[in-house]
Structure 1
Amino acid sequence: MDNGRAMKVLLCAPRGFCAGVDRAIQIVEIALERFGAPVYVRHEIVHNRYVVQSLEDKGAVFVEELEEIEADDRPVIFSAHGVPKEVEADAAARNLFFLDATCPLVSKVHREAEIHHKRGRHILLIGHAGHPEVVGTMGQLPEGTVELIETVRDVARLDVPDPANLAWISQTTLSVDDTKAIVSALNERFPAIVGPHKDDICYATTNRQEAVKAVAADCDAMIIVGAPNSSNSQRLREVALSAGCPRAQLIQRASEIDVESYDGVATLGITAGASAPEELVEEVLDRFAARFSLTLESARTADETIVFPLPRLLRDTAKPEKAVAG
């Protein structure tokens, strides 16, 4: 071990779990406590393999589709990303007992989409094709009534049925800056377009990106703890690079880091996506501490106090120490 090399570590805050992720994990854990194993979960409850594995160890069984569930008498939980209405209808038709762990901020976007549809507006959804949240949001309404756009270039190619009856909504985990550019292009091309009363990008996504922006230019490199299929984690890496950090690496576990390659790094920034638990950040710090003499500094840009209630059925089962924290 050689920890004589000095390294300053800027720990971004807020980082890691958001209230929606914390709530979703609690729903699975409390369902297991109350109903016993197995409890089925459609899709990864959140995009983090470490979290999924820990819940599997407790008795959760993850499936991609309801058809994979063999025992119709066991609870089924829908992931934090939300599901199309046809999935809920299928579950109801099979008399499955299901719990919805959809993040309330994603549910807010679903409600916005329904309101726009009732008012006769064609809906443009800013998001990433194939992401579970996008699939779930588009699945709230009849096919063809919601159109996906991913880039500013897509705006120029749009052929909408009625420019006077348009609305836009967005995935909650996008890059704040990229989304602003797309919205600006939409407003320029379609002046009558209606947007959300409050930005659809969630508070946690925004806060974590702002924390990265605040330190990126001061860092020689940044580590983002998160999963490759996590949209908000991928956006943190992109934001770090665009905000002036010359090197940013997205990792799931500390074992993926080649610590020797960081020998020339004087200041390292570390953050974590909204689905990554703090123990994985501590794991990263331990790995660097084995080679470097670390000086830790917290770089906090916001305080988070948002709380999301659990589903009514599970509230009396929750333990006080498991209160959802933002």
Structure 2
Amino acid sequence: EELEEVPSGGRVIFSAHGVSPAVRSEAKLRNLSVIDATCPLVTKVHLEAVKFARQGYTIILIGHRDHDEVIGTLGEAPESSVLVETVADVERLQVADPDKTCFLTQTTLSLDETRDIIAALGKKFPGIKSPPAQDICYATENRQLGVKAVAPQADLLLVIGSRNSSNSKRLVEVCEGVGVPSYLLDDYSEVNPAWLGDHVRTVAITAGASAPEHLVEHLIAALRDNYGFSELEEVILKDEDVRFSLPPELATPQRLHTIAV
């Protein structure tokens, strides 16, 4: 969790949420070997923050205060950035130059919770600049849209994901917002039989953006073997064909083969 926990000269992995320049500098000073696994979509937000700060804008970041990604993004331009979490925060917000503002968003938020905040920002700062492309992660958005699509047909939603995963928690909130009971669990062993009463005929299953597929498969098997859910229907709204390269430190080097004839 903290850089000081890593022995000097050791190896550290920066998570997909990214880190601030201060953390990178400290890692370099301590001669740490770094594997940078920052998601390219988070890097995009960081670069936008740096660009807007250089242009003299006040950067209004929409996000959750203690989230690792937000901490890293704020660290890219600490003197130029302010954080808002709610519409009420926007209403209280005062900036040096209301005519030179922009907004960025944490990539793992829900579309629903950002919509009202962005609208409030537009009302308070009519000339506010938005990012060139939406900051919310495509995988996060696709899963939220998928949950909304299947929720009317489901009696229960189970989300595979970590309890400290922002995008996983948003999936639960999205489904609860349309009146369907929803639960977040690490794996199939956390299923509570009380959730699966006689009234539950259809269970919807989804997963956070970083949850491995085998955890979903294990949950499906548990519902089939232990609770009698024998029919499976896979709902695909969008094919995700985006592929990101491994960090350079983990990429397998290409070998050159010489054939003597």
TM-score between both structures, scaled by the size of structure 1? 0.75
Q: Which runs of 5+ in 2 are unaligned?
A: 256-261
Distance 2:181 2:5 in 1: 42
Q: Cα distance 1:251–1:111, how it changes in 2: closer, same or farther (>3 A)?
A: same
What is the aligned-residue RMSD (CA, Å)? 1.6
Contact 1:218 1:245 in 2 (8 A): no
**How many residues are treated as equivalent by the alignment?**
253
1:113 matched to which residue of 2? 49
Contact 2:9 2:30 in 1 (8 A): no
1:122 pairs with 2:58: yes
1:145 pairs with 2:83: no
Which residue identity does 1:300 align to in structure 2?
I
Q: Deviations over 1:109-151 (max 9, x none)?
A: 000000000000011000001000000100112x342111011
Q: Find the partner of 2:33 among 90, 93, 97.
A: 97
1:241 matched to which residue of 2? 176
Which residue identity does 1:257 align to in structure 2?
V
Instruction: Please report how far the alpha carbon of residue 259 of structure 1 lies from its aligned counterpart in structure 2 after TM superposition.
Output: 2.3
Contact 1:222 1:245 in 2 (8 A): no
Q: Which aligned pairs between 1:47-196 and structure 2 lie closer than 5 A?
A: 64-70=1-7, 72-141=8-77, 143-196=78-131
2:186 matched to which residue of 1? 252
2:237 matched to which residue of 1? 301
Q: Deviations over 1:36-89 (max 9, x none)?
A: xxxxxxxxxxxxxxxxxxxxxxxxxxxx2221122x333221111001111100
1:262 pairs with 2:199: no
Distance 1:180 1:163 in 2: 20
Instruction: Please report how far the alpha carbon of residue 245 of structure 1 lies from its aligned counterpart in structure 2 after TM superposition.
Output: 4.1
Q: Which runs of 5+ in 1 are unaligned?
A: 1-63, 320-326
1:200 matched to which residue of 2? 135
1:30 matched to which residue of 2? none
Distance 1:293 1:103 in 2: 36
**Structure 2 counterpart SS, 1:296:** coil
Larger % of strand: which? Answer: 1
The structure 1 segments of at least 4 consecutive aligned residues displaced by more than 4 Å after TM superposition are: none
Instruction: Say which structure, 1 or 2, has more relative contact order (CA 8 Å, 6+ apart).
Output: 1
Distance 1:246 1:316 in 2: 45
Distance 1:103 1:318 in 2: 23
TM-score between both structures, scaled by the size of structure 2? 0.92
Percentage of matched positions with identical amino acids? 46
Q: Cα distance 1:318–1:286, how it changes in 2: closer, same or farther (>3 A)?
A: farther
